[in-house]
Structure 1
Amino acid sequence: MKRLISLALALNLYGAFPSWYYKVKGTKQQKKAFVEIMLPLIQAENKKIEHLRKTVIDIFNDPYYLINPKKVAFLAKVAKIYKIKNITDKEEFLKKINTIPPSLALAQAAIESGWGKSRFVREANNIFGHWTYSNKGLAPKSKYEHIKIDYSIRIFPSLEASLSAYMKNLNRNPAYKEFRELRDKFTKEHKKFTGIDAADTMINYSQKKEEYVKLLKHMIKANNWQKYDN
């Protein structure tokens, strides 16, 4: 089974959680299958970020990059994606273009998606509970029918797209500035930035605030996911 999972991921056959996943019995087996599906996607997305970061560093290392139209255009494009105002601000680029600890991503994916079994995941490939204020999303169900809900659940074409949006959210949303500042500090000090370290900065991710931070840490430690940060 494990080889089949790896092969299917390599061939990008999993746009969604596969049907066999929902037939897995037992908590231990379910958690194992969840990691086998999600971890390669997380690692692949982090590889993309690493590649982009290296490309940006290489451009800034060129003393003549500002007279190179292609390099300036590339920086402008990236700056727009990551909400960077000044395309010559190398510090800001490097703060925002960096990887996400796999243990943190796994923990948030498990919590927000109910281990991949929520309606949002099944119907919208939405792992992390992202909202949209357009009318193109999945309408959330409410037991309070008289209350008007002006948002919907964002629909993603694949799990990869949902994961990419999650990582961009942490890397550019003002709510996670503390996360980026702490990660940058660890990077400059050549220290490993783990999911446990990052969890302390996720207080704005949920209305549960401090309880959510505790839940993240418990999820990471209970499942020994710190090993994936190395």
Structure 2
Amino acid sequence: MKNVLCIMTLLAMTVTAHSQPKEVSYADIVSDPSSYVGKPIVMEGTFAYAEPMRESFTIDQNGALIEVFYRDLPGSDKEFLLAQQQYSKTLLTVSGILKQYTNKKHSYFVNATSLRLENGAAPAPSSLGLVAYSEILSNPGRYVRKPVTMKGSFVYSEPLRQSFSFDQGGNIIEVLISDLSRIDREAIFSQKKHSRKAVTVSGELLPYVNSAAKYYINASSVILEN
């Protein structure tokens, strides 16, 4: 019986080991693409530049430039990437699915599922100045149609409107989340009504067309605190 258990344990360890994404170099991929395309991989490289319109950034791996699409990453990761200076040389480890461009032979990109820094930590949210809703009401010209960051507590979501609302000192602010990744939207819609979970929202402050003195946020990132 002990021998059977040992064999089963070894088999489980073998399956687990093989299921872990393999860290690869771009040279490995080019030399044997069929072993990697369409499969999970891990790549390391230094930050080169971001292209927000494509929802991607590019890493440099010993002179080879690899595009990484970040649309499915959490909002805090996107903030971190977009705050990077061009060719900052920040060392990053990207996990995701390797894909081949349909219009380019022998050229590949990554659909990212996670992002890590050199020390193994996840990117920290940017420390943007927080705005109070009372400040907006007292001086709307300073904030309307401009990027803002606000903090409050989760109240409820409205999936049909692709939005949720949070409470800040008794003021209820609606946040449109249609531009966020699917992962971020699902996390928001899974929150219980009046959960009071702390939430930090960054995005463009806009006025309602039918209520000039009331405002909402078109979110670029939403961070739900644990």
- Look at both structures and tell me which one has the larger radius of gyration over its CA atoms: 2
- TM-score calculated relative to the size of structure 2: 0.23
Structure with the bigger percentage of strand: 2
Which structure shows the higher helix fraction?
1
Larger RCO (CA under 8 A, 6+ residues apart): 1
